[in-house]
Structure 1
Amino acid sequence: MGANTERDQDGSGLDRYWRRRVWTLAGVLGAVGLLAWTCQGGTGGAGEDEPGRDVGAAERTSAPPPSAMPTVTVTTTTTPAPEQADGGPCDRDDLVVNMSAARNVYAGAERPEFRVTVVSTGEGSCAFDTGSLEVRITSGADRVWSSAKCRKGAAPKATLRRGIPYVDDVVWDRRRDCKGTVRARPGTYVATLKGARAKKEIFALR
């Protein structure tokens, strides 16, 4: 046997070596594939079963729907203010009194005229004493005339209803005395409504 026989023997040894390597590699790849298939199948089964278990658990652990809350109604009762008895005396705090003059200058025989209005803001109706209305005419410190002193007869009672004014027109005949004949001289005078927060009226006689 020569050189060729040695090469054949060497070549046969190399072939057997590579065949063993190929079979070993194939076995490893097969084992890896089997392991991958097993894991995928197990995970898939668990994935398929898991939703069923979750749904069942959710159904078992879900809380019952809350019952409807009762409705609470709060009722507020307001006690109305007592109305003033009809025919009772008027409360001065419920009265709004004003006075206005017909004009600012009176010439010749013209008589100064003043309109007094009284309005009640109270509930119901009340009795008002018109005698409490007094128009005074003054000139400086000189008290010239008073409607209360020159009133004829007793002052009547007036029934006031809320928002409906009582009107009284007071006329001064220019005399200094109710029964005298002395007339007031031309000049500047002031008309004041006694006992009320009414605006004073300043006027002149010509």
Structure 2
Amino acid sequence: MTRPSKPLPPLGKVLTLSVMSLGMALSACVKMPMRAVQALPSNPAPETAALAVTKDNLDALSTGKQPSMASMAAQKALGQAVPEPVQITGVGYSQIGAQPGKTLNERRLMAMRAARMEAMRDLTEQVHGLQLTSDTTLRDNVIRSDNLRGVVAGEIRGAKTLRIVPKGNDSYQVILALDPSTVAYILRAARGQV
């Protein structure tokens, strides 16, 4: 004698339960974000350590918390010396021919300005970071669209122009820098010591 088999649940229910259990399993794996100084390698370059401390202090400020010496304490706990501020440089490029303007001199000035703004963006990325958003769509196991968007937001003050260099016949390179005293001021401000 055979037992009657139970009817199978509808496919939608099975998929919903599968997705929910997968989501719960993945959420158990997610950890709280760690501070930048905790993610440093065992022997980081002084520039890398300085940027990690700066990032942690700026993150604390952006969340409305009064920054403490937490990132420096974490760094000391890792057995690392507190880094001295270093010069941070940003580089930007721009083409002369792509600029608007009636005369060649106008286009050259616009190219220098555009290269300077790109160098500012480079500095901002180094100090404040880059927020990335990605979206990929698959259909029938074939990528139909793949979008990546980067957003930089921040404030840079005290950047100095080190060089404006013509590159070839149709472009300029601009190099900007935040000197160590400016970086030290940013660090003190982020720590609430100003």
Please indicate the TM-score interval, normalised by the length of the shorter structure.
under 0.3
Greater Rg over alpha carbons, structure:
1
Q: Which has the higher helix share?
A: 2
Alignment TM-score, normalising by the size of structure 1: 0.20
